[in-house]
Amino acid sequence: MKASSLDTVAQPAWRGVASEDVEEVTASLGTLLRHRTRRLLVSLVRPHTRPLVIGGCLLLAHNLASMAGPYLVEVGIDRGIPPLVSHRGAGVLTTVILAYLGATAVRVLAFGGFIKVSGRMGQNFLFDLRTKLFDHFQRLSLSFHERYTSGRVTSRLTSDIEAITELLDTGLQSLITAALSIASTLVVLLLLDLPLGLTTLAVFSGVVGLTRWFRHHSTRAYRASRTTVALVIVHFVESLGGIRVIHAFRREARNREIMDDVNGQYCDANAWSMRIAGVYGPGVRFLGHVAMAAVLLYGGHRVIHHQMTVGVLAAFTLYLRKVFDPMQEMSQFYNTFQAAAAALEKLAGVLEEEPKVAEPARPRSLPRPRGEVGLEHVSFAYREELVLHDVDVVIPAGQTVALVGATGAGKSTVARLIARFYDPTVGRVTLDGVDLRLVSEDDMRRAVGMVTQEGFLFTGTITDNIAFGRPEARHNEVVAAAEAI
């Protein structure tokens, strides 16, 4: 696959209905993705407002102390050295040196405090996000989980969370510091010397254009990267989960071909993003050198003609580094930012899914159910495929019923409707005459039990698994249940 074709990653035919959702990101869809990502971000950040404000103040103090350095150099050169040369004392220079050391101390302390506060806030943020995702996945209906495979769930909870973790651990502080440094330094440059400041802005406009180009193309590249890594994880998880079937049908070679395909798509997406970064980083560095050359040429000319002092020129060159050096750092960490942004888009999309089987707004009570089950003119379709059509039957309380039929006739579907894993497309399913859609989830689970065709052992002991539905069960009750089976 060529990188240019990764704007929309084709859904592989072999994935069937469980394929990864890949959208062609139009302008309107891109706006929607950004809006829902912001909503998720605001909901997660809101509980951490206090540490966010404290961290912002510490970072601002760090930035102000950092901005003082070049100014103190200018004062030391223009006002501190001449008295020293003329033997009039070193008072000014000594004051400048002490102020410089004080500013350095403020920088160190403020930055250390910010790392401590932001580190704790970042971990709390990730804790809330993981908890929110886990609770939401458990709350979603069975129809969602049959469409959204376990491999994709794993991708959301691992690779996407990992991308956000990397941003919080390494990239966020650098991005914020760089943005503050660039904005404040540009203002200082204009105040320090307007002609040289305007010269710098002329070159910086090229950086702005290059950044807009980088943002546009890298966003698409990282969307493709998050999508294709999910395909890799889906195939890996499903292959290991169905390893018995794979061995039984000698499917290993075909599975290897599929892995090569999705793995190649993932590699191509990453290579595409690296090529984009390879243009942006050197481009910013080149423009930084152009700006420095222009400042030295024009500034040197003005110093020779006594239109500015050497100290101002020295301070200007130091400030100039505070504009372009952070831009180069941002080019490195912007990759991390884009990966995290693409991951947040995926997570926001999942969190906007609503359960198809919803809890009733005003549930009906179900006191001591007798067990009469009714299907009243029930029809049901999986997506567009009709499985049950106008089924009308009443199963009296206490009666044992066996459903017999060919594979795909709808036997399991009837059981799932009675357990309310799904709601019927047409008609209603009742328990003792009460529509299941009006029964609370708690009453429903107390009244209806289900033994699946295939058992599933959770991590833990046999005792833990027997007591899975009642974790508070006493040991003798667990033993009695085991003996009854």
Helix (H, G, I), strand (E, B) or coil at 379: strand
CATH 3.40.50.300 residue window(s) in the chain: 373-454
Q: What pLDDT is recorded for position 482? A: 86
Q: Which residues pair with 431 in a beta bridge?
A: 373, 434
- Rounded CA-CA distance 414/377 in Å is 12
* CATH number at 3-351: 1.20.1560.10
Expressed in angstroms, the distance from the first to the final Cα of the chain is: 55
Nearest to 275 by CA among 229, 221, 227: 221
- Rounded CA-CA distance 372/59 in Å is 66
373-454, CATH topology level: Rossmann fold (3.40.50)
CATH 1.20.1560.10 residue window(s) in the chain: 3-351
Contact call for residues 273 and 239 (beta carbons, < 8 A) = no
Instruction: Classify residue 374 as exposed, middle or buried by CB count within 10 Å of its CB (0-12, 13-18, 19+).
Output: buried
pTM, entire model = 0.67
Mean pLDDT by 10 residues, the chain (485 residues): 42 36 49 73 85 89 89 85 75 88 93 89 88 87 76 78 81 78 89 89 89 85 83 84 83 89 92 87 88 90 89 89 80 74 82 82 80 91 85 90 86 88 91 89 82 75 84 87 82
Contact call for residues 198 and 190 (beta carbons, < 8 A) = yes
Q: What pLDDT is recorded for position 31? A: 62
Q: What pLDDT is recorded for position 242? A: 81
Q: What pLDDT is recorded for position 32? A: 64
- Rounded CA-CA distance 350/393 in Å is 37
